Copies of this chain bind each other. A is one copy, B any other.
Amino acid sequence: MLDSIPLLAGIVAIIFAGILAYYVSKKPRGNKKMQEISDYIHKGALAFLKEEYKVISIFIVAVVAILLLMSYYTDLPWETSIAFIVGAIFSALAGNIGMRVATKTNARAAEASKKGIVNGLIVAFSSGAVMGLSVVGLGIIGVGLFYLVYGSRAAGILFGFGFGASSIALFARVGGGIYTKSADIGADLVGKIEAGIPEDDPRNPAVIADNVGDNVGDVAGMGADLFESYVDSIISGMSLGLILSYAYGQIYPMLIASLGIFSSIIAMIFVKAKNPYTALRNGLFGAATIFAIFSGVATYWLLKELNPFYAIIVGLIDGVIIGLSTEYYTSHQRKPARSIAEAAKTGAATNILTGMSVGMMSTLIPIISTAIAMVLAYEFASFYGIALAAIGMLSTLGISLATDCYGPVADNAAGISEMAGLGDEIRKRTEELDAVGNTTAAMGKGFAIGSAAITALALIFTFVKKAEELNVKMDISLTSPYLMAGLFIGAMLPFIFSALTLGAVGRAAEKMVNEVRRQFKEYKILEGKGKPDYEQCIRIATKGALREMILPSLLAVVVPIIIGIWKIEALVGLLAGATSTGFLLAIFLANAGGAWDNAKKYIEEGNLGGKGSFAHKAAVVGDTVGDPCKDTSGPSLNILIKLMSIVSLVFLPVFIKFIH
């Protein structure tokens, strides 16, 4: 009976997602203009996915070939290749579903806002919930199926599943991140700054690409990122539970995840409020509370002790603390973002410096909180406890991802209201929805980073324990100069990775800038004579993103393999170094970017001189600097640290071959 609960939970999640998708699809799509814009965005997003899949499929085929070859020469189970393919397909499927629904909902959310802000909220949130439930549903179904088929061998084979999910996440995050910011910067630099037309003006040729980007980056990218964290945390829990011989060690992590799914669904159904922000927050905290009760009861009933449960709660609390800390450092109602706005009064340079300082300072709480969580979780249930903490943090992903993915839908709805000329009242409502979305998106980003870090930690410990189980002799004390060399190189990788992704956005944005300038000039759009060619901009963003994502992605896969073949001690150091600086840089980049963004918004609300003032111009510079930091480089680091650990786990039998 216990064995099939995960599958059951997954199926319930998918059914509920289907119901919500049906519910959303029955909502009116608004007038013709709105439908037209929504269709543009929908088609643009799918066009990107299609091109992206082409690139990814080459990668998948290559990896499968390598895995099969390795299965022949080493102890790598051949089923790893199958798991890899299934993991990749499930991750892609979750992203695909989420994006299809999101891009079908944007106009519907705008239309629903005509009746009131809460109506808009419900439609936008429902579409986010489809994504959230698809991610957790497909995740647990995948893991649960392999467990049913392979039993105690499942945990080892499932590393391949995680690797498949990670690969998709990598391309989705890096490619999506480059896409969204090149389109955004291109649209803003030429449209807003050079031509002086407002944001989301339909005359801007890059405006649709910009809206596509929100979906590609924040829906598909975020979803794939968290799908990866979700399955990786469960897999590492199953693996450590088995290796360390905990009672119900393999099934317990999946049961806990299943309870999280049920809790999320219950909270979605019952939690309501008038104010959109309150509704979302109550939903999140409601789900966490229900989950805490469920898992406490289930743990005691199953294990007759509560230590694993405490480890789970530690992770859950850590997630909440990181989310709140992110909110504090980025919200325009708090001191940090306001101090950045203040600094804009003396110019762009002081605005940038203050933002950097705020971003760096914002690492304090998440790092200390996670360090404490790790130690406590370990005290409760050894390394298994650390994996359980990760599972705990991600347990309510169904609903928390829904609040994340609600953001881009609201953002799109606001854009469509503007472009379709729905009038001030509706635009204001959708913008309010968008503002709530920005806050939840910031919290979601912090949460994604935190869960990536603790998942990566769990994977590192899994790697070491697995290697010990396989009798690998290694000196992983800090006095090993190989480990220390690995630590240095690992700590460096997030810097190199960020340098590459920041550079990629710059290059891709430059092409977009030139294209928008060309269209303005050749088609005489601003003179009212010609029409913008949206599709050309979409093609440029797609092409740029796909070309630029290759190098950083290969880096993430190839470096751990090379180092692992050289010295396994160095690999352990590499993973620890990359996880620590990856965590730090990701928080720094995400929070600095979010704070610059909201400092600008604070000024635009009429403070410190308001729009068009000297301070505002300086704040726009900060916002533009922060954009690729928070939406491309920062989030991509989440994938980097998890992927390197899972690659190491998959290739462990290969490394062992090179030791002997």
Interface string of A351-363 (1 = CB under 8 A from B): 0111011111101
Q: Cβ of B496 and Cβ of A360 under 8 Å apart?
A: yes
Q: Cβ of A464 and Cβ of B478 under 8 Å apart?
A: yes
A349 touching B621 in the complex, CB below 8 Å, given contacts A354-B503, A489-B371, A580-B581: yes
Q: Cβ of B588 and Cβ of A363 under 8 Å apart?
A: no
With an 8 A cutoff between CB atoms, is A577 at the interface?
A: yes
A353 touching B628 in the complex, CB below 8 Å, given contacts A346-B189, A347-B189, A478-B576: yes
Which chain A residues in 587-639 approach chain B with CB under 8 Å? 588, 620-621, 624-625, 628
Cβ distance A614 to chain B, nearest Cβ, rounded Å? 12
Q: Cβ of A479 and Cβ of B502 under 8 Å apart?
A: no
Cβ distance A509 to chain B, nearest Cβ, rounded Å? 8
Q: Cβ of A485 and Cβ of B346 under 8 Å apart?
A: no
Q: Cβ of B581 and Cβ of A374 under 8 Å apart?
A: no
If over half of A's interface residues share one DSSP class (helix, strand or loop), that class is named, otherwise mixed; here it is helix
With an 8 A cutoff between CB atoms, is A492 at the interface?
A: yes
User: Looking at the complex, which one of B189, B580, B588, B620 makes contact with A488 (CB distance below 8 Å)?
Assistant: B580
Interface string of A225-243 (1 = CB under 8 A from B): 0000000000000000000
Q: Cβ of B489 and Cβ of A483 under 8 Å apart?
A: no
Residues of B within 8 A of A346 (CB): 189, 510, 513
Residues of B within 8 A of A478 (CB): 460, 464, 476-478, 483, 572-573, 576
Interface string of A406-435 (1 = CB under 8 A from B): 000000000000000000000000000000
With an 8 A cutoff between CB atoms, is A443 at the interface?
A: no
With an 8 A cutoff between CB atoms, is A151 at the interface?
A: no
With an 8 A cutoff between CB atoms, is A179 at the interface?
A: no
With an 8 A cutoff between CB atoms, is A491 at the interface?
A: yes
Q: Cβ of A625 and Cβ of B353 under 8 Å apart?
A: yes
Residues of B within 8 A of A485 (CB): 371-372, 374-375
**Copies of this chain in its oligomeric complex:** 2
C-alpha spacing A488/B580, complex, angstroms: 6
Residues of B within 8 A of A496 (CB): 360-361, 363-364
Interface string of A493-530 (1 = CB under 8 A from B): 00110111011011001100100000000000000000
C-alpha spacing A361/B555, complex, angstroms: 14
Q: Cβ of B625 and Cβ of A363 under 8 Å apart?
A: no
With an 8 A cutoff between CB atoms, is A262 at the interface?
A: no
With an 8 A cutoff between CB atoms, is A14 at the interface?
A: no
C-alpha spacing A457/B479, complex, angstroms: 10
Q: Cβ of A588 and Cβ of B489 under 8 Å apart?
A: no
With an 8 A cutoff between CB atoms, is A117 at the interface?
A: no
With an 8 A cutoff between CB atoms, is A550 at the interface?
A: no
With an 8 A cutoff between CB atoms, is A370 at the interface?
A: yes
User: Looking at the complex, which one of B363, B481, B486 makes contact with A495 (CB distance below 8 Å)?
Assistant: B363
Query: Across the two chains, which residue of chain B brings its CB closest to A360?
Result: B499
Cβ distance A605 to chain B, nearest Cβ, rounded Å? 22
Residues of B within 8 A of A348 (CB): 348, 621
With an 8 A cutoff between CB atoms, is A378 at the interface?
A: yes
Q: Cβ of A491 and Cβ of B492 under 8 Å apart?
A: no
With an 8 A cutoff between CB atoms, is A584 at the interface?
A: yes
With an 8 A cutoff between CB atoms, is A397 at the interface?
A: no
Q: Cβ of B457 and Cβ of A484 under 8 Å apart?
A: yes
C-alpha spacing A503/B335, complex, angstroms: 14
Cβ distance A376 to chain B, nearest Cβ, rounded Å? 9
Residues of B within 8 A of A90 (CB): none
Cβ distance A459 to chain B, nearest Cβ, rounded Å? 13
**16 A-B residue contacts at CB 8 Å?**
A353-B505, A361-B496, A361-B499, A361-B503, A363-B496, A367-B489, A371-B488, A371-B489, A374-B484, A374-B488, A383-B479, A476-B477, A476-B479, A491-B581, A580-B581, A621-B621
Q: Which 5 residue pairs spanning A and B have beta carbons closest together?
A: A349-B624, A360-B499, A371-B485, A361-B499, A491-B580
Given contacts A350-B506, A577-B580, 8 further A-B contacts (CB under 8 A): A348-B348, A349-B625, A350-B624, A353-B506, A374-B485, A375-B482, A386-B481, A581-B581
